[in-house]
Amino acid sequence: MVDLSLLSQAIDGGDREKTVQLTTEALGAGTNPQEIITQGLQAGMAVVGEKFSNGEYFLPDMLMAARAMKAALEVLKPSLEETGIPTIGKVVIGTVEGDMHDIGKNVVATFLSGNGFEVFDLGLNVPVQNFIDEVKEKKPDILGMSALLTTTMPVMSKVIKALEEIGMRSSVKVIVGGAPVTQDYANYIGADAYAHDGGKAVPACRKLLGK
Ligand code: B1M
């Protein structure tokens, strides 16, 4: 049994090698990958965020933690994606323009593809027009947008307005998320759903499709 607080500490220390080693051990010991993410990796990231807020950490510390977390997610990806579930819907997802945070969006995308959704990941810093073009081209059931900065949250509203302007709002369901995003904000901008984390994004997307 791997103590997941050690994993949080490895993320906090930006120690990629240790993070990968502990993630591999936890997985090998049968720990649920979702638990490894929330109780180990994400918990560590929360500490990094707090330390950045209070001036104890700087940008390079966040970058090192991010690299460690990305490496750990690569270890977890195959088990999160192992599924015999037939495709239940198509999702286009991305982090909005101006925002370089993609770890949480990647977690959500991996959870969705591991739970039977066909996912088209547009990456990070995605301009409004790219979301629109992809909705036109891929005709997804769901459009997912992630924002980690209070300054980039309004871009999600711009995408929804752009969909309205071209008469495509009713052809796609919109789900939003990211640390500063709330259910109230989702309601305010006219999104169809909000999910607090990757685990909750799966039932939220299923619900949007009535499945
Ligand atoms: Co930045 N950063 N960062 N950062 N960073 C935050 C977000 C911050 C809260 C840190 C802090 O001050 N405490 C703060 C934002 C303040 C605010 O706006 N309120 C901040 C800041 C200020 C900045 C810069 C401005 C710093 C600077 O340059 N001075 C800068 C901005 C760059 C930009 O985007 N333009 C910046 C840069 C960076 C790095 C590049 C160094 C790096 C990101 C690397 C990367 O993603 N590739 C980074 C990191 C690592 C963080 C923290 C520490 C961790 C984010 C993370 O990956 N968490 C973060 C502090 C924090 O969040 N506590 C912080 C782990 C991840 C699994 O969780 O992303 O929340 P999260 O995703 C969750 C849920 O939110 C949800 O599910 C996910 C999985 O469970 N979710 C969705 C996410 N998207 C969803 C979509 C959905 C549904 C659910 O539906 C579609």
pLDDT in tens, 28-67: 999 999 899 989 999 999 999 999 999 999 999 999 999 9
d(CA 13, CA 161): 41
Distance 148 CA to ligand 1 centre (A): 5
Q: Are 106 and 41 in contact (CB under 8 A)?
A: no
Neighbours of 59 (CB within 10 A): 8
Report which ligand 1 atom has the smallest distance to the Cα of 150: 18
| Residue among 8, 26, 5 at smallest CA distance from 68 | 8
150 lines ligand 1 (CB under 6 A): yes
102 lines ligand 1 (CB under 6 A): yes
Report which ligand 1 atom has the smallest distance to the Cα of 93: 91
More confident site: 77 or 114: 77
Compute the average pLDDT of residues 158-177. Answer: 98
d(CA 20, CA 129): 37
d(CA 120, CA 191): 19
Could you give the 3-state DSSP secondary structure of residue 106? helix
146 lines ligand 1 (CB under 6 A): yes
53 lines ligand 1 (CB under 6 A): yes
Dihedral angle sign, alpha carbons of residues 65, 70, 76, 81:
positive
With bands split at pLDDT 50, 70 and 90, how would you rate the model's confidence at 79?
confident
49 lines ligand 1 (CB under 6 A): yes
Each residue of 83-141: pLDDT tens digit? 566 788 999 999 999 999 999 999 999 889 878 899 999 999 999 999 999 999 999 99
| Residue among 199, 181, 184 at smallest CA distance from 145 | 181
Compute the average pLDDT of residues 186-202. Answer: 95
105 lines ligand 1 (CB under 6 A): yes
pLDDT at position 82: 67
Residue located via tokens 């090698």: 17
H or E stretch covering 34: helix 33-35
100, two tokens: 């370089």
DSSP letter at 123?
-
Distance 210 CA to ligand 1 centre (A): 31
- Residue 211 confidence (pLDDT) above 90: no
Amino acid at 37: I
| Residue among 166, 188, 164 at smallest CA distance from 176 | 188
Distance 81 CA to ligand 1 centre (A): 24
Report which ligand 1 atom has the smallest distance to the Cα of 107: 79
- Our CA dihedral for 77, 80, 84, 88, rounded to 10 degrees, sits at -100
Q: Are 97 and 27 in contact (CB under 8 A)?
A: no
182, two tokens: 């709330």
| Residue among 164, 138, 144, 136 at smallest CA distance from 205 | 144
Compute the average pLDDT of residues 144-168. Answer: 98
Q: For ligand 1, atom 69, which residue shows the shortest CA distance?
A: 104
Question: Rounded to two decimals, what is the model's pTM?
Answer: 0.94
177 lines ligand 1 (CB under 6 A): yes
